[in-house]
Chain A
């Protein structure tokens, strides 16, 4: 436990030192990255040990703040979230050391590393904190640190806008958390988590209210639809290693908060599970649909985070429903699948954002339709991005499949009991649709960015990034492969975590885990068989082609021998059949000039896939608030006499009130 504190102190101090040496970029860079790596590696040790041994550790110090105490507690649930938080942050810091260095002339790297290390430390403390005040403090530090990281390139208008949206959204979410913690601590008068139990809430209504508050408050951070609007704005605006951390682990603190709240609330109500399944289904399908319509590589990835949070929501929803209806197998497998997807998503989404960062670094554009042919110029980045794409589509033999497989088995289990059949159908059908559309989206992203011919000079001039950026991607891709092949061990590792959620019901838990042990071993076996068959086929073809003519020519284009780069299918044209099919939801706007006459001179077409929730739901509300505030502005005349009149009237009203 004290090692964790050491890690946090190392992170904070190194950040501070980096800030102090901000004038010397290389020293600030060294201090920031070195501290982040050291801190994360120190912190991973106790987290892994807790998961391994299943024990818990605590620190409880007095803190002279009303209702506050410095109460940290490391149990399996916290440890499970700490692993990806510290692991991905370390890899991202490694990547950032090369990535940020190209900004050394324009930006204060010391400040960037200060906020990065502060973000990592606060994320770690969020999952450790066991006191409401401390939790909210760390939560706020996490939000603010990430806000300053998002606005790193604040000279650009779009980045400032994105940062502003993020700041408003995250504080609205936090407001709900304030109410939640006040509600939870009402009974005992203490904000320490071990005192927050269902006992302090009279009746199921209050517990349900607390759950709803948690879903809104934590769901805003996690990015459930319709609370996701900040996510596709903020994540693309940040530097890529920060996007990786935000998308990979920061939004997962929302999932952590939701799970932690569930442990306070005792046995869940069935409708909580239904709500999570509904939110998960909507987030998953909407997320991937909006992703399909994007032209910006990082924005596309950000929408896929919404999709993956949806998949996590489906798993957790099945789990909560299973707990509520006393179906331990569905509960354990649903929760297990959701939790494992938290880890998996951190790995492959981190990998994809780092890949997108490498593309941006090499070509200076995120516009998918201006890229192309990068696989020839950046073979390493392309291969790693491909691995990430296969993983995020949930395809074997990588890790995304394992967690989705667990959720599928949970849903199959749920099919058999009539009270959960509809939930199971939603999960199976939802995962099917999400999976199919994700394949469409990532074949589009990979195909248009990396394959074919370059569509612009920027893409043609791109060069492979150096090892400093490549190694982090290789590490994450290896993690994706390793998790897939260690799937049975992973579920054993999850055991103590699941115990925290479902309570120490040893028999049911072990029983549920043993239900999937054989299937997971078989999946691993078949994945290995697949790779073996692949290798044999490759070897066979090599033998066959040895000594035979293998010629290179032009691509067959109906006999047209001079295909140009602009004749290729673009990202928009690839996605067009699907986006048109779902235009009811997407509402894509088309602008442009259609070609006229026999010899058309100029034609253009632009499509915009804006977020319907942002434009259709939040924009009117905020415009209404703005309208009201402008009216209220009339009160402010800037004359002392009028203000004195206000004071006099107020005093008069109060006096009259008192007289009554």
Chain B
């Protein structure tokens, strides 16, 4: 237990709303616009927190619990999230499963809140979310399993090893030497994780967060009926989820394990914002896939993850 490990969740809590803003700015730059201020996310949250609420008469307490549960899940998940070599407050064997399953709880209640409205549109979004997330959960588990399978090399001085099956254990061992030796496996796992990041955070090419037609939305349509503080919690929770998944990917892509936790964490936070820029570039250059194509895209990522695991088995 040291101050750095507790400052990791704190950094997430403070900085998370910046990530979507960076994506927006990147897209604006590509489109030749000036774009929102970087702090727009915080302004929106403040504005929504100051409002009242409107609830549909059809809904029940599950609808009101949905945003609370989702936000509580991602906040709890921060407790086991390492930033590169920096140690999270809590680390134990099997914590990758807990992290992914907490995201599962958030999804369960987001979907249930959508079904609570009785709207066909929200039901449609819920159905798609259930389908796509079933595929990405598999991808993320298998990619993380591939990373567990690696990780036998001696660690640089000062990096805490952690349990071999914990996130801390996985990420502490992902050094530059690992990249040189097992580059293919890591690249495959990173690609699979990238697809998972795009899908889980409803980004192009899976979902378009800025679309205007309810029929084509996935995540946005599920939260149509939320308002006021509930909507603020949903926005904040979504930003936090983006932060968590980007941190998992950036921790893999940036193999800086200096032994100084502040430096390592700082590098990964920089990586998270670079990933945000990359997502902005992807969103500017690609169109959304047809809905029927999305499962193929996600299955492809799952296959990449399996290949990564099999390669990790052979090398």
Contacts and interface: CB of A to CB of B under 8 A. Distances in A.
B123 interface: yes
B229 A415 contact: no
18 contacts: A393-B108, A396-B101, A409-B93, A412-B94, A412-B165, A429-B138, A431-B141, A432-B138, A439-B111, A452-B118, A526-B76, A537-B233, A544-B229, A555-B119, A555-B122, A567-B120, A574-B123, A577-B127
A522 B95 contact: yes
A569 B145 contact: no
Nearest to B131: A577
Contacts of A415: 145, 148-149
A362 interface: no
Interface of A: 372-373, 375-376, 379, 382, 386, 389-390, 393-396, 401, 404-405, 408-409, 412-413, 415-416, 418, 421-422, 424-425, 428-429, 431-433, 435-437, 439-440, 442-444, 446-448, 451-453, 515-516, 518-519, 522-523, 525-526, 529-530, 533-534, 537-538, 541, 544-545, 548-558, 563, 565, 567-569, 573-578, 581
A425 B146 CA distance: 9
Contact of B127 (A424, A432, A522, A574): A574
A453 B57 CA distance: 10
B135 interface: yes
A412 B263 CA distance: 30
List 4 A-B pairs, minimum CB-CB distance, nearest first.
A569-B123, A447-B115, A436-B134, A452-B118
A466 to B, nearest CB: 21
Given A415-B145, A526-B79, A578-B130, A451 B108 contact: no
Interface string B84-120: 0000001011110110011011011001101111111
A557 B121 contact: yes
Q: Which among B118, B133, B214, B224 has the highest number of chain A CB atoms within 10 Å?
A: B118
Contacts of A553: 54-57
Interface stretch (B16-24, B25-33, B65-73, B238-246): B65-73
B101 A395 contact: yes
A534 B105 CA distance: 12
B102 to A, nearest CB: 6
Contacts of B104: 393, 395, 435-436, 439
Contacts of A451: 60, 62, 112, 115-116, 118
Contacts of B93: 409, 412, 515-516, 518-519
B98 A563 contact: no
A379 B60 CA distance: 9
A537 B71 contact: yes
Contacts of B112: 386, 443, 446-447, 451
A519 B95 contact: yes
A432 B141 contact: yes
B68 A537 contact: yes
Nearest to A455: B118
B309 A425 contact: yes
Given A435-B101, A439-B107, A568 B52 contact: no
Contacts of B229: 541, 544-545
Nearest to A531: B72
A549 B121 contact: no
A565 B73 contact: no
Nearest to B107: A439
Given A451-B118, A541-B230, A556-B225, A526 B90 contact: yes
Nearest to A437: B134
A413 B127 CA distance: 35
Nearest to A401: B101
A409 B165 contact: yes
Given A395-B108, A577-B127, A439 B133 contact: yes
Nearest to B132: A577
B142 interface: yes
B288 interface: no
B243 to A, nearest CB: 16
Contacts, number: 255
Contacts of B128: 577
Contacts of A551: 52-55
Nearest to B314: A418
B300 interface: no
Contacts of A578: 130-131, 134
Contacts of B92: 518-519, 522-523
A642 to B, nearest CB: 64
B57 A447 contact: no
Q: Which among B59, B60, B72, B130 has the highest number of chain A CB atoms within 10 Å?
A: B130
B137 interface: yes
Q: Which among B79, B122, B145 has the highest number of chain A CB atoms within 10 Å?
A: B145
Contacts of A416: 149, 164
A578 to B, nearest CB: 5
Contact of B118 (A401, A446, A538, A555): A555
Nearest to A395: B105
Given A415-B149, A550-B52, A526 B98 contact: yes
Contact of A548 (B52, B123, B138): B52
A652 B233 CA distance: 91
A433 B138 contact: yes
Contacts of B58: 373, 452-453, 554-555
Contacts of A563: 118-120
A541 B68 contact: yes
Contacts of B56: 552-556
Nearest to A372: B118
A557 B149 contact: no
A413 to B, nearest CB: 7
B145 A428 contact: yes
Contacts of A453: 58, 118
Interface in B282-315: 295, 306, 309, 313
Contact of A569 (B49, B73, B126): B126
A405 B76 contact: no
B118 A439 contact: no
Contact of A529 (B52, B76, B123): B76
B254 interface: no
B181 interface: no
B107 to A, nearest CB: 6
A326 B217 CA distance: 51
B75 interface: yes
A442 B62 CA distance: 14
B198 interface: no
A515 B165 CA distance: 11
B80 interface: yes
A439 B108 contact: yes
A563 B118 CA distance: 9
A401 B57 CA distance: 34
B206 interface: no
B115 A443 contact: yes
A526 B127 CA distance: 29
B8 to A, nearest CB: 15
Given A413-B165, A534-B69, A551-B55, A544 B127 contact: no
A588 B264 CA distance: 53
Contact of B76 (A395, A533, A552): A533
A547 B272 CA distance: 39
B105 A396 contact: yes
A404 B97 CA distance: 9
A589 to B, nearest CB: 21
A581 B295 contact: yes
A446 B133 CA distance: 18
A538 B57 CA distance: 20
B228 interface: yes
Contacts of B234: none
A581 B292 CA distance: 10
B193 interface: no
A642 B105 CA distance: 73
A516 B166 CA distance: 12
Contact of B111 (A379, A447, A554): A447
Contacts of A436: 104, 133-135, 137-138
Given A436-B104, A526-B80, A544-B49, 11 more contacts: A376-B60, A390-B105, A412-B145, A413-B165, A436-B135, A519-B95, A541-B229, A545-B228, A548-B52, A569-B126, A576-B127
